[in-house]
Amino acid sequence: MPSTSLALTPGLASFLKSLKTNQIDTSIDNLISLLKRRQIRHSRSCATATAYLLLRVISACRTTDAVKLIERVQSVGRRLVAAQPREMVVGNIVRRVLGLIRDEAEDDREADFNLSEAGSESQPQTPRVPDDASDVPSTRLDGSTARTSLTSMFSLLSHPEPEPSLPGTPSSASPSGRVPGPSKDIRAEVMEGINEIIDELGQVDDQISAYALDHIHSNEIILTHTSSTTVQKFLLKAAAKRRFTVIIAESFPNNHEATHSTVSGASANDEETLSTESFQKPLIAMGITVILIPDSAVFALMSRVNKVILGTHSVLANGGLVAAAGTRVIARAAKVHQTPVVVVSGVYKLSPVYPFDFESLIEYGDASKVIGYEDGDLVDQIDVQNPLYDYVPAELVDLYITNLGGHAPSYLYRIVSDHYRKEDIHF
């Protein structure tokens, strides 16, 4: 009996299940209400749900016109973002999908153009379709050059569209295989692209942890915070080869239970641990010394710590980040002790938003986590503020490790411009 009742609660799993059967508009409203009710709340769950939803939106869209497709995705995206503006990954995924559509549309037009020019090999860059925005070709070129100049890992992940479609190699685009005319269906390619985004979301933690051995050395003391799975996997990967000590601040009151269970290895029953994570061995099983400390002890211990590794909720274009409450205190303490601060985060969390008003990015949660609701006198007379997130300014962070490798905070703007098209930043 309990098993059925657990399945009742709506969440990511039930949403993905219902996505297949429901009408598309129903699914959109469904996701909006799930986001509003915070039934889907972690960055990755939000991203996954958004990606799957957009996949459905595009497959259900009965148009082949790229402009209409973009409009449709934009309108859906706006509603999703309005539902929960603080989950920035939703907007990120929408922007990436928009970028995909634009890329495909351009490739398509390019191919047509080549075809109509009767196979002329003349410069594909300059004579674009005249009604196209003037900055489109330039960003595109920026993107492609940046891609080629980076490592192979980077290029493998950062542009999911097939290599032949790149400008400069128009011959391999095989115009003979394409149907001439504007009616060519680009949806298949876009959907393929979205599937690659979904794959990326699934693999991102493993890819990040591949860099673990470069950053964690033997006999180091690592301080971390919350129960972020990205951080845990990162540490686990290093633990396979090296011996070091981990100090975990429990992040009371919003995440301490999850942190405790991560440390002790007791499987937490939340929806996040659906898959492999719940079977994962905790760090202690790998022979790593793990010390759980209250948040207040962070400063006292910081002098002994070699490195601070933090998970994050989202990363902003200026290199700042929004992460679980308490992160800023840790980063600040690390700065005082000149301890390096490393932030591990998937690229999907990287948002092109500049934090002009970072107060508005911070969500305030349930007051009863701080003091008990049953204390009537207190409840009546005080205001309890329970921020769920902290904004950590860029200068407190030394290094970002994403699935593309390590970056300085000041370099993030570049990754932003690689991943998102300028015209989609404020869609």
Partner 1 sequence: MAPKKGGGAPKQRNAAEEVEETLQAVVLADTFETRFEPFTLDKPRCLLPLANTPLIEYTFEFLANAGVEEVFLYGGAHSDQLEKYINASKWRASSSPFKQLTFLKSTSTSVGDVMRDLDGKHVITGDFIVLSGDVISNMPIEGALATHRARREADKNAIMTMVLREAGRNHRTKSSSVSPVFVVDPTKDRCLHYEEIDHHAEHSEHGARLNIDTEIIAEHSEIDIRQDLIDCSIDICTPDVLSLWSDSFDYQAPRKQFLFGVLKDYELNGKTIHTYIIKDHYAARARNLKAYDAISKDVISRWTYPLCPDTNLLPGHTYELRKSNLYQEQNVTLARSCIVGRRVVIGQGTSIGEKTTVKNTVLGRNCKIGKNVTLDGAYIWENVVIGDNTIVNQAIVADGAVVGNQCKVESGALLSYGVKIADGITIGEGIRITKSPKEDDEAAPESDPAVVGAGGEGYEFTRDEDSDDEEDDASETSSGLVYNMANLSLSTESISTLSSETSDFAGSRAGSYGTSVSEEEKEDHFVQDAAVSVYDSLRDEVTSDVVQLELVSLRMTANASDNQVRRAVVSAFMKRIGNLMDESQKSASQAVRDIFGTYREIVERSLFDRETAAKPDQVDLLVLLQQDLVTWPKGDTVLLFTAKELYDLELIEEEAYEQWWDDERSSGTEDMRKVRAQTQQFVDWLANAEEEDSDEEEEESDDE
Q: Which residues bind partner 1 (CB under 8 A)?
A: 1-2, 4-6, 8-10, 23, 25-30, 33, 36-39, 83, 359-360, 364-368, 372-377, 379-380, 383-384, 386
The residue among 91 and 319 lying less far from partner 1, judged by its C-beta, is 91
CA-CA distance, 60 to 187, in Å (whole number)? 10
The residue among 36 and 337 lying less far from partner 1, judged by its C-beta, is 36
Residue whose token pair is 């269906």: 185
Cβ 394 to partner 1, closest distance in Å? 23
Q: State the Cα angle at 345 between 17 and 235, rounded to 5°.
A: 100
Cβ 389 to partner 1, closest distance in Å? 13
Dihedral, CA of residue 400, residue 234, residue 51 and residue 415, to nearest 10: 20
The residue among 26 and 276 lying less far from partner 1, judged by its C-beta, is 26
Using the 8-state DSSP alphabet, how is residue 323 labeled?
Answer: E
Cβ 294 to partner 1, closest distance in Å? 20
Maximum CA extent, the chain = 82
- Provide the residue type at 397 as one letter: V
Cβ 359 to partner 1, closest distance in Å? 7
Cβ 365 to partner 1, closest distance in Å? 5
The residue among 301 and 384 lying less far from partner 1, judged by its C-beta, is 384
- Provide the residue type at 120 as one letter: S
The residue among 26 and 169 lying less far from partner 1, judged by its C-beta, is 26
Cβ 323 to partner 1, closest distance in Å? 19
Q: State the Cα angle at 210 between 286 and 262, rounded to 5°.
A: 40
Cβ 361 to partner 1, closest distance in Å? 11
Cβ 98 to partner 1, closest distance in Å? 24
The residue among 107 and 363 lying less far from partner 1, judged by its C-beta, is 363
CA-CA distance, 182 to 379, in Å (whole number)? 64
Cβ–Cβ under 8 Å, residues 330 and 338 = no
The residue among 11 and 170 lying less far from partner 1, judged by its C-beta, is 11
SS3 90: helix
Question: Pairing relation of β-strands 399-402 and 389-392?
Answer: unpaired
Strand order in the sheet with 289-293: 289-293, 245-249, 221-225, 307-310, 341-344, 399-402, 405-407
Closest CA relative to residue 423, chosen from 66, 17, 181, 50: 66
The residue among 11 and 311 lying less far from partner 1, judged by its C-beta, is 11
CA-CA distance, 292 to 283, in Å (whole number)? 12
